[in-house]
């Protein structure tokens, strides 16, 4: 398994696990989950997407930077500064919140549902968190490695 694949898988697992914790804290383990309104299911994709966008960029980006530096990289100018990684993390967070929030809300709106059963809501949130974390990490590391 390549480093890129391993880091992407780790990010998916971590973001999926964090999504489990937040789902249980926000919506519990039983009863239907309300879809619309502030703090409800559709709205929750905004902070979830933002947090995943930031963390799935920041942590793998800083780890990749450290690996490039410790590997005696031949071109130090190709190693991004910490500030650049932080800025990119918040940019990815904002993009994930806008795109992820819009796409998930559109999908929910198309169903016409006002509530969603707890189990499918849980599975979708966790799968979304894992998939978004993997995508953002893959994009981040692919871009950093291509520039180095």
- Percent of the residues in the chain that have a pLDDT greater than 70, as a whole number: 95
* pLDDT, tens digit (0-9, with 9 covering 90-100), for 19-44: 999 999 999 999 999 999 999 999 99
The mean pLDDT of 54-77, rounded to a whole number, is: 84
Question: What angle, rounded to 10 degrees, do the helices at 118-147 and 41-70 form?
Answer: 30
In terms of Cβ atoms closer than 10 Å to its own Cβ (0-12, 13-18, 19+), residue 106 is exposed
Mean pLDDT of 101-110: 96
88-104 per-position pLDDT tens digit? 999 999 999 999 999 99
pLDDT on residue 76: 63
How high is the pLDDT of residue 79? 86
Domain residue ranges in the chain: 3-26+35-147
């Amino acid at each position: 398994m390549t480093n890129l694949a391993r880091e992407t898988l780790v990010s998916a697992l971590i973001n999926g696990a964090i999504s489990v914790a937040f789902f249980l804290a926000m919506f519990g383990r039983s009863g239907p989950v309300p879809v619309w309104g502030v703090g409800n299911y559709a709205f929750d994709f905004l902070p979830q997407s933002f947090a995943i966008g930031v963390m799935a960029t920041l942590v793998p980006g800083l780890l990749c930077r450290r690996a490039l530096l410790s590997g005696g990289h031949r071109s130090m100018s190709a190693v991004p500064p910490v500030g650049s990684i932080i800025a990119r993390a918040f940019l990815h967070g904002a993009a994930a919140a806008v795109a992820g929030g819009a796409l998930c809300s559109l999908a929910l709106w198309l169903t016409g549902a006002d509530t969603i059963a707890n189990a499918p809501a849980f599975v979708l949130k966790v799968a979304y968190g894992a998939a978004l974390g993997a995508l953002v990490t893959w994009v981040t590391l692919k871009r950093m490695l291509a520039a180095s």
